[in-house]
A and B are shown apart, each in its own frame.
Chain A
Amino acid sequence: SAVISQKPSRDICQRGTSLTIQCQVDSQVTMMFWYRQQPGQSLTLIATANQGSEATYESGFVIDKFPISRPNLTFSTLTVSNMSPEDSSIYLCSVVPASSQAYGYTFGSGTRLTVV
């Protein structure tokens, strides 16, 4: 399966600031997804990062708050903007390998964000 490097692994940020999270994949992937996992909760999809076009956002998530970049088939960033304590969560990227025979969707190690 694809190997994903996600950075930073954790951060403590002041409210009102922004944080950019990066995901680098060791192979080209067609789809990259960004999820949020609040403490003790399930994974909620924020958006699908499309290479060469704007990201597709899920209900309740907007581009101004969570801008996403996808400059190529191996890299994506998610920015959490104008942060508030409610944004404290774990953010994870996920990929689907380009080969249809590959083994499922793989997750990055996550970014644990605390907003104070």
Chain B
Amino acid sequence: GENVEQHPSTLSVQEGDSAVIKCTYSDSASNYFPWYKQELGKRPQLIIDIRSNVGEKKDQRIAVTLNKTAKHFSLHITETQPEDSAVYFCAASRDYGGATNKLIFGTGTLLAVQP
């Protein structure tokens, strides 16, 4: 079945440094790749997403890259701040908006930004 692997499981960086989280998916039909941030006790919040017709997308300090051939996608956070500390989940689905668009989540990365 579909599977999304995510690495690392924990990541500690100094404030101002960059953080990179990587995911690999198994379903070659996947074409939508969102990233969620979940703070303790709160619901997951979508922070950025990418569709398979683009290779990179950027939103201020956050960027996502996609390599469809290798079935890899990555989240890049630059100039990290303490408020970036949270658990980050990648996910993948096929056919966004269609009948088979369930999201399959990665295992999560606990990011700690040290002041």
Mark A residues whose CB is within 8 Å of B: 1, 30-31, 33, 41-45, 48, 59, 92, 94, 96, 100, 103-110
Are B89 and A43 in contact, with the CB atoms below 8 A?
Answer: yes
**B25 on the interface (CB 8 Å rule)?**
no
| A92 vs B44: C-alpha distance when bound (angstroms) | 10
Q: Flag if A31 contacts B43 (CB, 8 Å).
A: no
Q: Does B97 lie within 8 Å of A100, measured CB to CB?
A: yes
Known: A92-B43, A107-B43, A110-B43. A42 touches B102 (CB 8 A): no
Known A-B contacts A42-B107, A96-B97; the reply to A105 vs B43 at CB < 8 A is: no
Q: Taking CB as reference atom, which chain A residue is nearest B34?
A: A104
**Any chain A CB within 8 A of the CB of B104?**
yes
A44 to B2, CA, bound (A): 12
Is B46 touching A104 in the complex (CB atoms < 8 A)? yes
Nearest 10 interchain pairs by C-beta: A104-B46, A107-B43, A100-B97, A43-B105, A42-B105, A42-B107, A42-B108, A109-B43, A107-B44, A104-B49
Q: Per-position contact with A for B92-104: 1 when CB-CB < 8 Å, else 0?
A: 0000110001111
How many Å lie between the Cα of A106 and that of B49 in the bound state? Answer: 13
| A65: min CB distance to chain B, Å | 19
